[in-house]
Amino acid sequence: MSESPSGSKTGPDESAGKGANTEPGEFKRSSSHFTDRITADGRDGWPVEPGRYRLVVSLACPWASRALVVRRLLGLEEALSLAVTDPIQDERSWRFTLDPGDRDPVLGIGFLGEAYQAREKGYDGGVSVPAIVDVPSGELVTNDYQQLTLDLSTQWGALHREGAPELYPEALRDEIDERMEGIYRDVNNGVYQAGFASSQEAYDAAYAKLFARLDQVSEHLADRRYLVGDTITEADVRLFTTLVRFDAVYHGHFKCNRNKITEDRVLWAYARDLFQTPGFGDTVDFDHIKRHYYQVHGDINPTRIVPRGPDLRGWRTAHHREELGGRPFGDGTPPPPPPTAEVIQPL
């Protein structure tokens, strides 16, 4: 989902310091507006069909990155095509200026907001990624970033690649959900509550919860390779997309600066382990990440200067997490290399 404290058209129905249950200066993230689901039985009118839908992402956005990682791990590249937006939005929403003619070649639109308008005429709320668009009609189907990846795991099974891992195994769902809830509240969203806080009190509260949770997660991972069980699950995907952005943007830009991830021995090794796992690091584009955060958030960084650091070469160094055991893909196999059109320049 796009990030803006203003609730503008380029943001995701969010506001800072507003809302019935919001303390003064506290960042408030609203729920997704379009929550239809694409399911095996088509209960919401959107049945799983290969080639029918297009996933729209920004490589900068951690919420969209969840969908990228899950799509890669499950091998859904051919079944669910991919559109990548420019990391820099304008007042008209996420734009397809990376494509010839500044239009998505499949949807034929210049701005993601056009798919929102096709779904709901006159819609004037936030335009967020990830989003799935119905190609035949051009209508937005869903921008429900919380449910979207779970449905890719549980509803798109007939289209998974051979050897696809179980990212949301039924026997572990209660524990996965519990882990994800705390990580979402205090880490995934917590960095934004710190970065977009408009009062010292709101910032201090978010900062304290963020690092308390990171300390708890670090302790939990000290003697186990993954968050739940001995394989990668959805919980690891959701934690990774924040950790991989932490030193590059959240530490300085969002004032989450008690310490860097590189300064936490456990979390740094865990993050590198995942980064070096096929399907994770090969979806990360640090250039898009840094340009988006530092150039879009003018209230936080009015000069829009993009810092040169940090040094990213450490992401490829040995992590030794394999010594803890565990099998990344369980009884499955690693995904093959990404399609040529989706290859990201390696570090």
Catalytic residues: 61, 192
Strand pairing report for 81-84 and 53-57: parallel
Q: Count CA atoms within 13 Å of residue 83 on its CB side.
A: 30
Handedness of CA 267, 277, 181, 19 (dihedral sign): positive
Spatial distance between the Cα atoms of 347 and 337, rounded to a whole number of angstroms: 16
Nearest to 76 by CA among 167, 166, 157: 157
User: Is 94 marked as binding a ligand?
Assistant: yes
b/e code 169-192 from CB counts within 10 Å (16+ = b): beebeeebeebbebbbebbbbbbb
Spatial distance between the Cα atoms of 60 and 79, rounded to a whole number of angstroms: 23
CB-CB contact of 69 with 237 (8 Å): yes
- 341 Cβ contact list (under 8 Å, min separation 6): none
Spatial distance between the Cα atoms of 75 and 277, rounded to a whole number of angstroms: 15
The one-letter amino acid code at 293 reads Y
* Residues annotated within a binding site for glutathione: 94
